[in-house]
Structure 1
Amino acid sequence: MEVVNDFSASMYLPRTLFETVARFDDTTADDMQCGDMSDQDLFSLGLSDISAKVDPYRLIHYDFPMTYQMDSIYNTSVSGRKISRDECIDILFTEMKDLVQMFSFWGAYKALIVELIDHFRHRNGSGFYSQRLNLAFHERINSYFVDNPRLIIEGIIRDEFNSKPDSIHLPSLLNSIKRSLLESKLPKFDSRIDRINGLGISVHDIAVQKITLVNLQRYAMGWSA
C-alpha cells in the first residue's frame, strides 16, 4: 500500500481549497445587522400592505380580508375590531405559515420553513440549527450538477493518480485543485424543485462556504479523501 498522506504530506494537510470572502458567524457583516424599527420607519419603506387579516400599525383585525393596499397608516375606513399586540403577533405568524405553503408543499423538507418561522419568533436572534437542513445540504453537495466542486476535486485527484502511478507532488496537486475551484459552482438551493420543496423559500442564498481537504490516501486499488 502506498500512502500519499505520509509524514511529508502531512505538512500540507489539512488544506483549505476554497473559501468565500464572507466569513462564518460574522456578526459585523452588513446583512447581519438588525434592530427594532418604528411604525413610521417601516411605513416609510412602503411596507403598508403587511397582512390580509390585520393592520399591525393600528392593531385592527379586519372584518373582511384585505385585498388592496392602505392609502395611509392612519386610514380609518377599514372596518374591524381592536386586538392586543400578542393577538396581532399570533395572527401574523399564523398567516406567514399559511402563505409559505405555496412554496413548500412537496418532499422531505417541506416543513423546514415552519421550523425557521418558529425559530424566528421564539429564539431571540440565536443561531439556527436543523438536522433536516444539514441533511438537505449534504445531499446537495453529493448530487450531480454542472461544475460541482466535489466532482471537480475528485476528477483532478483521479487524473493525477492515473497519470502518475508511482508518486505525486502534493503541493502541485493542491494548487491545481484550488485554481480549478475558481471556475466551480457552489452548491445552493436554486434548482427548479427547490421552488416547491421548502428549501428555496427557507434558504434564499448561501453567502459563506469553505472547502477543506483533510486527508488524502492512495492504496494499491484506489484512493480516499
Structure 2
Amino acid sequence: MSPIRLPAVIYATQPGHKTRDDLNYGDMTEHELKTVYGLDDVSAKVNPYNFTRKSEISLTPFMDYSAFNFPTSSVTDPFDHDPALFRRLHDEMLNTLNRQQCSDILFDEMMALSKPFALYGAYSELIVKMINHLQGNSGTVFRNYLLNKALKDQIDHDFSASSSLRRIKFFLIKNIDWKEKVLHEESRSLLTSEIGFGKVPKFNRMKDKINGMGITVHDTYATQITLKSLSINDSEFKACINYKSQDHFGLDKDDILKMKFHSLRFFRIWFVLQRYEKFAFRPFVTEMEAEICLSGGKP
C-alpha cells in the first residue's frame, strides 16, 4: 500500500446536485412575472414595468410653462385652457424615469430593506458589497476577505457530530498507520465517504438570519475539501485542511414561489431586477476559502 499523495482532494460536491436557474437573468417578460409569479406589487417607490414613480407629486404653482413649448398665440395661460390636462402632463414629466433612474431607485430600496437581515457583527456589511456588485452588472466572481473569515469561523465553531472537520479528525486518528507513520492512499475513498455522511459548511444557523450571512450565502452550491499537508510522529499528527466553497448570489424560480421569499419586498425587487428582460442584472458566483490546521493523538 502506498502513502497518500498530497495535496489530496478528499471531498468534492457532486455536480448536478442543484440547478443553476439562479444564474439566469433577463429571461422573463412583464406578463410572465405578473401572471406566473404574482409580481404586481414589487416596489413601494416605482413601477418597474413602465419606469414611473409611484408617489404622487403635487403641482407647483410656480412651474415654468415654457418647458411645454406651447404656442403663445393660442394659449396665454395653460391653466385657463385646460388645467387638468396640464396637471397630468406636469405630473407625467416629473414621474417618468429612464431605465437607470428606475433601477437606481430599486437598488436603493433593496439596500434599505436588507438591513433587518444584517443587524450586527463583522459580516453585516457584506450584503451592501454584494448588492453593489449586482448593481455593477459585471457578473464576475465575488470574493471578499469577510467571506473567508466567515467560512473559517463557521468551520472552527461547528462542534456537532456531523461537522466535516470533526469527522476528518477522528478518521485520521483511527486510520493512520501509526507504525509506518503514514496515511495510505487506499483510505482516501473511505475518508470521502465519511465526510459525505456529515455536512459541509452552511450558514443556516439562527444567528445567520440577522448577522448578514444568511442573506448573502445561506447554503453553498459547491464545496471542495483538500488535505494539504500531514505530518505524523510516534504519538500525534498535524494536518492542514483547505476548504473552498462556492455559492450563487441570485434567485431561481422556486425561490420566489416560496411564501417566505415572495412575501418580502426585498426578494420581489431582487427577482425583478435579475429576471425582468428590461433590467437583466446579472447574478454572480461567490467564492470563499479557509485553511484549518488540526492535530490529534494516537488512540
TM-score (norm 2): 0.60
Q: Superposition RMSD on alpha carbons, in Å? A: 2.5
Structure with bigger gyration radius = 2
Shift of 1:127: 1.5
Structure 1 partner of 2:263:
none
Instruction: Determine helix, strand or coil for the equivalent of 2:226.
Output: strand
Structure 1 partner of 2:24:
33
Q: 2: CA distance between counterparts of 1:36 and 1:29? A: 14
The structure carrying a bigger strand percent of its residues is 2
Question: Amino acid of the residue matched to residue 32 of structure 1?
Answer: L
Calculate percent identity across the aligned residue pairs. 32
Structure 1 gap ranges (5+)? 1-7, 65-78
Pick one of 150, 153, 158 that aligns with 2:165.
Answer: 150
Structure 1 range deviating more: 33-42 or 100-109: 33-42
1:72-87 paired onto structure 2 within 5 Å: 81-85=94-98, 86-87=100-101
Structure 2 partner of 1:204:
218
Q: 2: CA distance between counterparts of 1:90 and 1:160? A: 57
Instruction: Determine helix, strand or coil for the equivalent of 2:114.
Output: helix
Q: 2: CA distance between counterparts of 1:140 and 1:14? A: 23
1:121-140 paired onto structure 2 within 5 Å: 121-140=135-154
CA contact (8 A) 2:123 2:150 kept: yes
1:45-194 paired onto structure 2 within 5 Å: 45-63=37-55, 81-85=94-98, 86-146=100-160, 147-161=162-176, 165-167=178-180, 168=182, 170-194=184-208
Cα 1:58–1:179, aligned 2, differ >3 Å: closer, same or farther? closer
Q: 2: CA distance between counterparts of 1:111 and 1:156? A: 37
Pick one of 27, 38, 42 that aligns with 2:33.
Answer: 42
Cα 1:169–1:134, aligned 2, differ >3 Å: closer, same or farther? closer
CA contact (8 A) 2:42 2:48 kept: yes
CA contact (8 A) 1:157 1:173 kept: no
Shift of 1:36: 4.5
Cα 1:131–1:224, aligned 2, differ >3 Å: closer, same or farther? same
Q: 2: CA distance between counterparts of 1:124 and 1:42? A: 24
Structure 1 range deviating more: 103-112 or 79-88: 79-88
Structure 1 partner of 2:230:
216
Structure 2 gap ranges (5+)? 57-90, 240-299
TM-score (norm 1): 0.77
CA contact (8 A) 2:178 2:234 kept: no
CA contact (8 A) 1:22 1:207 kept: no
CA contact (8 A) 2:46 2:102 kept: yes
CA contact (8 A) 2:119 2:210 kept: yes
